[in-house]
Structure 1
C-alpha cells in the first residue's frame, strides 16, 4: 500500500541539473551559488540582507546571539511550534516562556501577549526577544505585535519557517517590516527545499554583519575589523566565538532552482486547500481560518476534530488514517508539555488554548504534487474514520 505523506519535496530535472553543475565546478562549499541564492531570496522578500545557513535552528540561534540574548534574559514564543523556536534561547543561556495561541489562527495571540507583557512589566521581567511563529504558513498579526514591541521594548524574530511565499498586508513575508530578523526553513517538507538549510533575513546591516561572523566560526578576512594590520594575504582573525553553520553550494544551487517555482507551489497549495474546504464541509471538523490581512504559504493544512460530535477519539482517528496509508501528522505537541520543559517548571494547564488545539489537531497531506485522486482518498478515509 502506497502511503500518502503529509508533505514531500518536489525535485525536478532542472534541480538535478543545477546540483550537478556545482558538482562539476571548482566550488562545492563556499562558492558563487550561496550568494546567488541569498540574493534571490532577498529580492523576492524585499529585504536588504539574506544569509544562508545549514538549518532554521542555526538561523534562530545566531539571530538570538546577534540580538545579544544572554543569561538572565527572557525569550517568549508560542507553545505550538517545533521545539527549536524555544531551544534557541536556552542555547544562549537565557530563559524561555510562552504566550498562548489565538483559537482561530493557532498563532501567538496579540491579546494574550499584551496581557502577559503588562503582568511582566509589573514584576520587572519583560522579554528581550519575542518569537512569533507563522504556523502552517499563515502570518501572525505582526502589526499588533510590533506595536507592543515599541511600547514594551522587546526585539522581534519572526519564525517564518513555514511561510516563504506568503504575504502580510500585501507584502512578502520576510521583508522584516515588523521585525528585526526573519528566519526561514528549507527542510524537504517545507515550501521549497535545499535538502536541509535555513536563512536569516534583516534590514539591519549591523545585525547582518554579526550573523555572517557567527555562521562561520567568528572569523573575518576584513582588515577593517581586525585588531592589527594583516600579516599577509593569507591572514584571518577570529573575533567572535562562532559556529560552522554554513550552507553548501550544492544546497544553494538546489535552492535557486526551487525559487523559480515558489509562486506556483504556493498557488497550488491554495488550490488544494480550497478543494479540501469544499470536500470537508459538513464533517465534524473545524477547517483552517484565514486571517484577512494575510496570504498563507500553506505549508500545512490542519483540521481540528469536533470531539463532542463524534464517537471516536483523536488517537483513534489518527490511527485509522495511518492504517489506511494516509500519512497524517500532528503539528505540534505543545513545547511546554515536553519532559525537558516540564523539568524547567512548566506544567499542563498553563496554556489552555494550545492544549485544546493539541487535543484536536490533525495535519492532512498538503504538497504541490498531491493529486486530486489522492486528495479524494484522504477525504474518504477521514469520512470513514469519523463514522467508525
Structure 2
C-alpha cells in the first residue's frame, strides 16, 4: 500500500536517538531545550515550549491565554478535532468560522461578518484558532488585523505547516498571532515520533506554557514562596499537566530539523508534478496563497461533480493507493452535534468536504509510485466520465 504520508528516518536520526539511550537522560535532559532553541532559530520565534503532542500544545496555549469557563473560542470546521477540543478542555464554548472554498482555510470575510455580529450581541470570542490546512497559510494579516480590532488573541494551528512561510516570514514567527503550534506526528513534515511545540514572541506566555506542561511546578528562585528551602525544593503554583517531551523525542526532532528545508522542497516539487500530471483533467488542486510558500503536508484535490468520491476512494484503495479525506467537518461530528450544531451551519465547509480527496505526498515517494498514483486517478476519472456520457 502506498500511504498518504510517511516519515523519513535515516541513520543520523537513529544515531541521535541511540546517543540519548546511552546517555544519563531519557526524559528531561539537554536535548529538549536544544530542540526548543533550534525551533526558535528556524522560525524566528523568541520562545518555544516543547510538549508531547500538538494537542497538548493547543491546550496549554489556550490556558496561557486565560481561556476558561464561559469564554468562547472560534476555529475552522475543516480540521482535526483537536483544534476545537483544546478549548473544551478549558471549559470554554467552541464555535466555528466557515472556510474559503478555494483553500479550505478560515474565510476572512466570514470571520469579519461573524465578529461584527458577535460584537453587537456581546459574545465575542477570547481566542481565534485559524488552521493552516495542508501546510497552506491562512490570510494571517487580515485575520490578525480583525483580531486586533476586537481585542482577541490568536493561536495559529500550524500542525501541518512547519517549514512554510507567509509574507517572507517563516510560519511560527507569530507576526500576526500570539502563539503558533506545530505537530511532529510521524506523518507530518518532520517527526519526533510524537510531539509538538508552542512558539511565541511573548516571554510571559512561554513561561506560563512551560509551567502548564509540567504539573504547574517551578524551581525558579525568583517566584518561589520559600526560596531558601534547598536545592531539592520545588513548588506547584497552578494546576498543570504531564505534557513534557522526552529527550528521546527531542533528539529525533533535532536530527529531523536539519533536513526540514529538504523535505519541504521535495514536497513542493511533488505538488508541482501533480499539477502538471493532472492538467487537462477536471480535478482542482488546492493551492497556497500567492504571498506564501506551503510546507505541503497534504496533497488536497477537489474531484469534479461527475465523480462519486466513495467509488474513487474505494477503487484507489483497491489498487494499493491509500488516498484519504482531510477532514470531515468537526461541527458534524456526533459529539459536536450534541452542542446544537447541524447540517447547513457552515455551508462552504460542508461543500468543500463533499468532493475532497487527499493523494499520497511525502519526500520518499518514488517516481514509479507517483506515476502509478497519477495513472490510476486519471483512469478513475476517465471511467466515470464514460459512464456519465
Normalization by structure 1: what TM-score?
0.98
> Paired residue for 2:222?
224
Q: Deviations over 1:121-159 (max 9, x none)?
A: 111000000000000000110000111011111100000
> Paired residue for 1:67?
65
Give distance in 1, aligned partners of 2:222 and 2:261. 41
| 8 Å contact kept, 2:136–2:287 | no
Deviation at 1:387, TM superposition (A): 2.5
Deviation at 1:80, TM superposition (A): 0.2
Give distance in 2, aligned partners of 1:352 and 1:368. 34
Deviation at 1:226, TM superposition (A): 1.5
Please give the secondary structure, in 2, of the residue aligned with 1:156.
strand
Choose from 191, 209, 212 the match for 1:211.
209
Deviation at 1:283, TM superposition (A): 1.3
Deviation at 1:361, TM superposition (A): 0.5
Deviation at 1:222, TM superposition (A): 1.1
Q: Map residues 248-327 of structure 1 onto 2, 5 A cutoff.
A: 248-307=246-305, 310=306, 312-327=307-322
> Paired residue for 1:52?
50
Normalization by structure 2: what TM-score?
0.97
> Paired residue for 1:368?
363
Deviation at 1:113, TM superposition (A): 0.1
Aligned CA-pair RMSD: 0.8
Q: Map residues 84-103 of structure 1 onto 2, 5 A cutoff.
A: 84-103=82-101
Number of aligned pairs? 383
Please give the secondary structure, in 1, of the residue aligned with 2:297.
coil
Q: Map residues 67-216 of structure 1 onto 2, 5 A cutoff.
A: 67-216=65-214
Give distance in 2, aligned partners of 1:278 and 1:103. 22
Give distance in 1, aligned partners of 2:227 and 2:74. 42
> Paired residue for 1:246?
244
> Paired residue for 2:332?
337
Q: Does 1:380 align with 2:378?
A: no
| 8 Å contact kept, 1:230–1:236 | no
Q: Deviations over 1:322-342 (max 9, x none)?
A: 110000111111000100000
Please give the secondary structure, in 1, of the residue aligned with 2:222.
helix
Q: Map residues 30-49 of structure 1 onto 2, 5 A cutoff.
A: 30-49=28-47
| 8 Å contact kept, 2:137–2:288 | no
Give distance in 2, aligned partners of 1:266 and 1:169. 17
Which stretches in structure 2 are left out of the alignment for 5+ residues? 384-389
Q: Deviations over 1:77-113 (max 9, x none)?
A: 0000000000001000000000000111210000100
Q: Deviations over 1:230-279 (max 9, x none)?
A: 42111110001000000000010000100110000000001100000011
Deviation at 1:320, TM superposition (A): 0.8
Give distance in 2, aligned partners of 1:229 and 1:33. 27
| 8 Å contact kept, 2:59–2:87 | yes
Please give the secondary structure, in 2, of the residue aligned with 1:182.
strand
Deviation at 1:289, TM superposition (A): 2.3
> Paired residue for 1:7?
5
Which stretches in structure 1 are left out of the alignment for 5+ residues? none
Give distance in 2, aligned partners of 1:167 and 1:236. 40
Give distance in 1, aligned partners of 2:30 and 2:227. 28
Give distance in 2, aligned partners of 1:356 and 1:372. 33
| 8 Å contact kept, 2:84–2:94 | yes
